[in-house]
Amino acid sequence: MFFGEDGAPTLKYEIDARHNEWRCGLEIEAGQAVMGNAVYRDLIQALVMVQVDVLILAVPNEYKYRSSGRPTSSHDYVKTLSVVETLYSHARFQFPYSLVLIGY
């Protein structure tokens, strides 16, 4: 149940920005968008957000970090795009919102 007494929400998710008239929400991920599973969390939480018809998800093109003292990187935009394309093209499930993916 998402609404309690007098229609007050019982579950709320904090998103980075929202435009009520356009019915869209914005999530901006910084480091570890993929490795920290933030992308998956954002996609799932948006499923239950009321009055969100469009999710705008911004992820870094590349996340640079050190592993065992050596510089390395994760191509977060490419990995997120692959996840999104797989999920949105799957016949078993349909998202109730459109998605705009931005790499920065």
Domain count, the chain: 1
Distant-in-sequence, close-in-space partners of 54: CB < 8 Å, separation ≥ 6: 22, 23, 24, 25, 97, 98, 99, 100
pLDDT by position in tens, the chain (length 104):
455 676 666 666 788 999 999 999 999 998 888 888 999 999 999 998 888 999 999 999 999 899 899 999 999 999 999 999 999 999 898 999 999 999 99
Q: What is the pLDDT of residue 37?
A: 93
Residue 10 maps to a domain: no
Q: What is the pLDDT of residue 7?
A: 62
DSSP H or E segment with residue 100: strand 98-103
Considering the entire predicted model, what is its pTM? Answer: 0.84
- Structural domain span for residue 39: 17-103
Residue 12 maps to a domain: no
Residue 9 maps to a domain: no
Q: What is the pLDDT of residue 10?
A: 62
Residue 78 maps to a domain: yes
